[in-house]
Chains A and B, each alone.
Chain A
Amino acid sequence: QKEVEQNSGPLSVPEGAIASLNCTYSDRGSQSFFWYRQYSGKSPELIMSIYSNGDKEDGRFTAQLNKASQYVSLLIRDSQPSDSATYLCAPARQGGADGLTFGKGTHLIIQP
C-alpha cells in the first residue's frame, strides 16, 4: 500500500512570506515526485516535478527532495493571494502507467 502523507491544513501564510508545504511517502521505490495545485472547484494541474535529491527552483517555487528521509517539500516564495489553493503531492515509480497516488493535499491560504 503506497502511502503519501500531507498536513491537510489549512496553512495560513501572510502575503509576501514563504509558504512551506511538506510531504512524506512510504514507497521507497519512488523515483519521481510531482506537485499539483488545485484551485477550489477546479481540476488539479502540475506545477513542479523533481527527480533527484536536493533542490529544484522554478520561479517562485522550489521543490526539495530527500529520498533517504522519504520527504519532499514545496516552498513558495513571495506568496501571493493567487497561490491560495490545495497542493497535492504525488510520488511515482519509473516505468509504470498505473496512475499517480496522491496525498490528501494541503489547503494553503495566503492572507492579504
Chain B
Amino acid sequence: NAGVTQTPKFQVLKTGQSMTLQCAQDMNHNSMYWYRQDPGMGLRLIYYSASEGTTDKGEVPNGYNVSRLNKREFSLRLESAAPSQTSVYFCASSEHLTNTGELFFGEGSRLTVL
C-alpha cells in the first residue's frame, strides 16, 4: 500500500525555470494538501483541495499554482522558480481531517533553486 507518493524526491532548478511536483494518493481521500517546510518556519500550507474539482489558497500561495487532476492526483507548479522557493515540499491527504486530525504525508520533495 503506497499511501501518498510524491515525485520527484530531489530537484535542482535555476532561477526562472519552471517545474511541477506530482502527488498521488491511493487511499480514496477527498482532501489533499501541499505544504512547504523551511528551517525555523515550520510547515506552512501552500494550497489545498478539499474535494475533487476545488482548490483554495493556503497561507503562502504566491508563486505557485495547483491542479487537482482527479481524486487521486494533486500537482504543484512553480512557473518561474525563485531562490526563496528552496524548500522541502510535502503533499498530504486526509479524510475527516478535523475529526481525526490525521494528515497522511508523502516522503517530501527537496527543491533547490539556484
Interface residues on B, range: 20 to 34
CB–CB A97/B103 < 8 A: no
Q: Is B105 within 8 A of A44, CB to CB?
A: yes
Q: Give the distance to chain A from B29, nearest Cβ to Cβ, in Å.
A: 10
- The number of residues on chain A lying at the interface, defined by a beta carbon within 8 Å of a beta carbon of chain B, is 28
Cβ distance A104 to chain B, nearest Cβ, rounded Å = 4
Identify the closest chain B residue to A94 (Cβ).
B98
Chain B residue at minimum C-beta to C-beta distance from A30: B98
**B residues in contact with A102, CB < 8 Å:** 42-44
CB distance from B3 to the nearest CB of A (A): 10
With known contacts A32-B98, A93-B98, A105-B42, A100–B56 Cβ distance under 8 A: no
How many A-B residue pairs have C-beta atoms within 8 angstroms? Tell me.
70
A99 within 8 Å of B (CB atoms): yes
Shortest distance in angstroms between A39's beta carbon and chain B's nearest beta carbon? 12
Which residues of B are interface residues toward A (Cβ below 8 A)? 30-31, 33, 35, 40-45, 48, 50-51, 56, 58-59, 90, 94, 97-103, 105-108
29 contacts between A and B (CB under 8 A): A31-B98, A33-B101, A36-B103, A43-B107, A43-B108, A44-B43, A44-B90, A44-B105, A45-B105, A88-B42, A88-B43, A90-B101, A92-B98, A92-B101, A93-B98, A94-B99, A97-B31, A97-B48, A97-B98, A98-B56, A98-B58, A99-B45, A99-B97, A99-B103, A100-B101, A102-B43, A102-B44, A103-B42, A104-B42
Q: Which 10 pairs, one residue from A and one from B, show the smallest C-beta to C-beta distance? A: A34-B101, A104-B42, A43-B105, A97-B50, A102-B43, A99-B45, A97-B31, A49-B101, A92-B98, A46-B102
Binding site for B on A (CB under 8 A): 8, 31-34, 36, 42-46, 49, 88, 90, 92-105
